[in-house]
Structure 1
Amino acid sequence: MLDLVLSTVSQGLLWAIMALGVFLTFRVLDIADLSVEGTFPLGAAVAATLIDAGHSVWFAMLIALIAGCIGGTVTALLTTKLKIPALLSGILTMIGLYSVNLMIMGKANVPLLRAETVFTLTEDLFGVSSVVATLIVGLIATTVVGVIMYWFFGTVLGTAIRATGCNPQMARAQGINTNVMVILGLLISNGLVALSGALVAQSNGFADVGMGTGTIVIGLASVIIGEVLFGTRSFKNWLISVVLGSVVYRAVIAIVLELGMPPNDLKLFTAVLVAIALSLPLIKNKFAIMKRSEEADA
């Protein structure tokens, strides 16, 4: 039972990095970016291929991060320079990256079962089990990414990105180049998503060309669940809520699987869960209005 809890939390932390990337586009930039479904397996494909070829784990993860940034930049350029709607730009990038990922791996699946990964290195360094090693890596990676994001979005450049997503007209009136901010935001977002893909591939022991399917829904579920359960009182609180939302989402998935739900139904369950989470603020508002109305009548 303890191993199941630790495994669930550790997987939630690894996927939380992807959720932070989705949060950046969905909440900060106010863009629905579907290219994450291509950049997630892109990070996994690049990292797995390089590790399988004998390269350093750290080098493989760095290149995976850069590859994700390039993928996000492509989406941003389609949106800002060619004026293609952001949703369609993300779809085009996602479709194109499917072929790119196949070319990188040379096949549909690259196994990493006997390869040296960041998790095996952690096991050897601390002398712990694979489950605990995954938890340690997840905690360190999520903390580092969260702290850097909190610091960066408190700078002038980070504030300009937030202003672009909040009110682009006002941002342009203040002299901010909103196109550059969109490019930078999508670059960072997809870099984080690819990094998460690289970590998840090493944790799973393989990279698969289809592992990005449903990534955007998982990211949105983490963001929305975190917001509903833990609030958005400040930017720091918001980041923490997204991370905790990812852990809660993984916990819910683990629970429903333990209760006997067929794995094939998980995507449907996730879609329903996101729909319910998205509608909760409206439901709460309606209940509040009804309560005030009843109090006024009384």
Structure 2
Amino acid sequence: MSALAISGALEAGLLFSLVALGVYLSFRVLNFPDLTVDGSFPLGAAATAVAIVNGVNPFLATAIGMLAGGAAGLVSGILNVRFRILNLLAGILTMVALYSINLRVMGRPNISLYGETTIFTPFETLLDFGIWTNCAVLLFIAVAMKFLVDWFLSTQIGLALRASGENPVMARAQSVGNGRMTLIGITLSNALVGLAGSLFAQSQGMADVSMGIGTIVTGLAALIIGETLLGSIKVVWATLGCLIGSVLYRFFIAAALNAGFLGIQAQDLNLVTAVVVAVAVVLSQARRNSRFRLWPALRRALTAPQPQKG
């Protein structure tokens, strides 16, 4: 691959690592299959693009996109917690509604940001890394968000959030409000996704109403690849796996599309994505099953009575 293709894959991987962190909070920590992601990603992009075009400072516009994504997650949480709608269906309803809302926000199917000042503009002269400038900025943001998630999940609220997702009955017995934890977790999850959409629009120079299609698949693929490599027991390793898994996933896609001898073309992107996700799931299950098969043997070896000496 060329240096441009490598930098593009790295940039996309770092961007979608924020999505993977959001998916980790909803799917793994809260055990909440949230499909709002496919709508909150373009919502963050749309809100940021509209703000930038109207002269808002790009850093403030990025915060607006993040808050917009969090608001979308809050709606899904309210549908589930207050109106008792199944979590999967709540996410689908919000995702479908957001397509129309995104059109309303932008006023048209897409908005161009070419020639506009974005969050990356000041660093183009400050860092002067050429095609790697955006990668450097996104790496800093991704690592910062990873440490923020680690810190949050170690706080009292974060521990309550983890307890609520792991064992709701036990959490309720410890006076933890499961509904309140769901609202907090899904809001934070989609805020991260909205931030990813905001940065994606500024990086690519446009926001499009259909740019969120398949976002949840990308986030899950990154999450599963990271768990396969680093495991998911400790939060620190799980969040690091989100970053590494996202970057590796984008490199797999880029390598497949640039491997001319395989005959893969741009229209085969969805096929390649499905294959990569399927392989990641199979490897994850194989890793888990091998661990469970080895554990009884290790336990028997450790607990077996020692032979008595003559």
For Structure 1 versus Structure 2, the TM-score category normalised by the shorter chain is over 0.9
Q: Which residue in 2 is equivalent to 1:279?
A: 282
- For residue 285 of structure 1, report the CA deviation from its aligned partner: 5.6
How many angstroms apart in 2 are the aligned matches of 1:45 and 1:282? 37
Moved more, 116-125 or 104-113: 116-125
Q: Which residue in 2 is equivalent to 1:83?
A: 84
Q: Which residue in 1 is equivalent to 2:218?
A: 218
Q: Which residue in 1 is equivalent to 2:103?
A: 102
How many angstroms apart in 1 are the aligned matches of 2:14 and 2:38? 19
What is the total number of aligned residue pairs between the two structures? Answer: 292
How many angstroms apart in 1 are the aligned matches of 2:35 and 2:212? 11
Q: Which residue in 1 is equivalent to 2:300?
A: none
Q: Which residue in 1 is equivalent to 2:164?
A: 164
Q: Which residue in 1 is equivalent to 2:71?
A: 70
For the residue of structure 1 that corresponds to 2:246, the secondary structure is helix
Deviation per CA, 1:209-241, whole angstroms, max 9, x where unpaired?
000000000000000011112223521011101
Moved more, 230-239 or 206-215: 230-239
Provide the TM-score with structure 2 as the length reference.
Answer: 0.90
For the residue of structure 2 that corresponds to 1:45, the secondary structure is helix
Provide the TM-score with structure 1 as the length reference.
Answer: 0.93
Q: Which residue in 2 is equivalent to 1:258?
A: 258
How many angstroms apart in 2 are the aligned matches of 1:43 and 1:288? 40
How many angstroms apart in 1 are the aligned matches of 2:211 and 2:50? 15
1:172 to 1:2, Cα distance in 2 relative to 1, 3 A: same
Q: Which residue in 1 is equivalent to 2:234?
A: 234
For the residue of structure 1 that corresponds to 2:79, the secondary structure is helix
How many angstroms apart in 1 are the aligned matches of 2:135 and 2:282? 32
- For residue 289 of structure 1, report the CA deviation from its aligned partner: 8.2
5+ residue gaps in structure 1? 293-298
One-letter amino acid of the counterpart of residue 112, structure 2: P
Q: Percent identity?
A: 42
CA RMSD of aligned residues (A): 1.9
1:1-80 alignment, distance < 5 Å:
1-80=2-81
1:90 to 1:121, Cα distance in 2 relative to 1, 3 A: same
For the residue of structure 2 that corresponds to 1:110, the secondary structure is strand
Moved more, 276-285 or 155-164: 276-285
Q: Which residue in 2 is equivalent to 1:295?
A: none
How many angstroms apart in 2 are the aligned matches of 1:69 and 1:286? 36
5+ residue gaps in structure 2? 296-310
Q: Which residue in 2 is equivalent to 1:127?
A: 128
